A = this chain, B = another copy of it.
Amino acid sequence: MPGKFTFYSENIDDRFIVLDETEARHAIQVLRFQVDDNIEVSNGLGNKYAARIVEIQKRSLKAEIVSCTSYERSRVNLAVGILKNSDRMEWLVEKCTELGCHSIGFLETKNSERSKINLERLHKTAIAAMKQSHGAWIPTIHLVDWRQVLDSSSPLKFIAYCDLEDGISVKNHPHALFDKAGDVLICIGPEGDFTLDEFKLATVQGFSALKLGDHILRAETAAITACAWANWV
């Protein structure tokens, strides 16, 4: 039987899991799973299933659920300025999925050089990263506008800003930063960061300024760092 591998399926009922064609082909043709082998399947919504393969066809695989374990979702939500560089957006999605992140909203900001992104591609990147890291959650990836971000009801709301001299520094406040229970929303600017007006708008609406250490971090590095911190403090 092949080694540990986590599959993804949206097609799960009380008793059976069906893998779609791509997943099934991978399981059957690459990993050589057979009937009666045990597999692990995640639904991307917090549940991981242990299941036993009961039927294999060329393009499909059906397994019977043996047990189900539920995992708590991450409290971290990101609102990230749309980046010029789509590779860097994919990396951000991959890494934040690995580390644990509940949602990633891409936001058109003043310094974003475009307004459209390939959400389907980013969603696939997130699925792959969840499988790779044996996770149970796929972050919601969507476009958001400023109104939605500013109206967030998260008890902890931060906006990272590079030119900040007197913000809340993670270096000085590593533990106090994420001290309240509940969701955390962290806004990260695109290349060129938020404008001062955008930053001020957010702080007026109850966002705290966040300085992620002494260096100027690229947008995706800032997002990864925020995820690592917020999940583990």
Closest to A220 in B: B95
Which of A132, A216, A232 has the most chain B CB atoms closer than 10 A to its own CB?
A: A232
In the bound complex, residues from chain B placing their C-beta under 8 Å from that of A134 are 215-216
User: Contact: A221 with B99, CB < 8 Å?
Assistant: yes
Chain B residues with CB under 8 Å of A135's CB are: 215
Asked if A149 is at the interface (CB within 8 A of a chain B CB), the reply is: no
Q: Which residue of B lies closest to A171 (CB)?
A: B232
Assuming the contacts A91-B91, A98-B218, A218-B132, asked whether A213 and B232 have C-beta atoms less than 8 A apart, the reply is: yes
Size bracket of the A interface: 20 to 34
Query: Which B-chain residue is minimally distant from A97 (CB atoms)?
Result: B215
Q: Looking at the complex, which one of B95, B215, B231, B232 makes contact with A99 (CB distance below 8 Å)?
A: B215
**Pick from B215, B218, B221, B231: contact of A213, CB under 8 Å:** B231
**CB within 8 Å of B: which A177-221 residues:** 213-218, 221
What residues on B are CB-neighbors of A217 within 8 Å?
98-99, 133
CB distance from A9 to the nearest CB of B (A): 19
Smallest Cβ distance from A214 to chain B, in angstroms?
8
Return 23 A-B CB contacts under 8 Å, by A number.
A95-B221, A95-B224, A98-B215, A98-B216, A98-B218, A98-B221, A99-B213, A99-B217, A99-B221, A99-B225, A100-B213, A100-B214, A100-B215, A135-B215, A170-B232, A174-B174, A174-B175, A174-B232, A174-B233, A175-B175, A221-B224, A224-B224, A229-B232
